[in-house]
Structure 1
């Protein structure tokens, strides 16, 4: 008489185990999916950060290349908002500047921030013997030809050390922006200033 009730209890217990197993399987599946998504997101973040670092390095390289050139050879388009675009090799094993190993960088918004005439006293130096002189690289600021050797300065001659020399310095500010399809919507912008020496006759044109 008791056998049917025992069978019904076993069947009820089997159904509960099946439900618990299905719930556990669902939870494990959700955890696995979350881990996969999190890993994918981290991979994307690392990849984006690497590309951004390469873009900033390319922009800095483009700025350094321009700033190490004589200012008289700078492209006039550097003064515009669009600028001049150049391809920068990212330093891979391939030397050709192809699209795959290079990044497009626009050097732009070149602007004169400050200009001033150099005083004569700034260029006159004094050696250990007490002799005042002008270095060969600065003789052109006094109308000389820049010949090798020292140009001795007579401090008792007419004139004042506070007088203006024939040279001036101009502080330029320029930007470089990486703008490449590999960056998607990101476009890192690097800004830097450089001071160059110019002749006072070209001072007005330098900051025009």
Structure 2
């Protein structure tokens, strides 16, 4: 009788824990990891940073290829804005723990949520200043490429001044709402999930 009981317990111990093994499968781990909004936010920050570097390189090319002070001033200002936003993205990414499979503590989650929101909002407000400059630079650059003439000669006509002002007035709100939409698409859903996780933890604490 005793031997039978010991054998039964030994058989139970030797049986694999199916639930645990299923959790350890790569597909399951990947699924659990993807549920953490910080993981996706961190990945999107890296993507934004890489795109920012590519755009900055394009601006540098334009500054070198078109040696007109008006274009260089406008694009130079946009370049500074792009570098500022790109550096901010990489800093935010490095601040988020690389081991995002495990959920951070409540304080860490709140800190990341606050920092990311602050980064997004600061870009929105700075964009309202830089978008008109970007539109002006793009307008003059397009004129130089299209007409093959210097900026001074192109902008000497009053109609071109009016066209520039209209371009700035139209493209500034378009640029603002486009940037807002892209930001929401990249981070909005995941920030909402992160905020919900924070609220849930606060209720349980």
TM-score by length of 2: 0.28
- Structure number with higher helix proportion: 2
Higher RCO (C-alpha under 8 Å, 6+ residues apart): 2
Q: Which has the higher strand share?
A: 1
- Greater radius of gyration (CA): 1
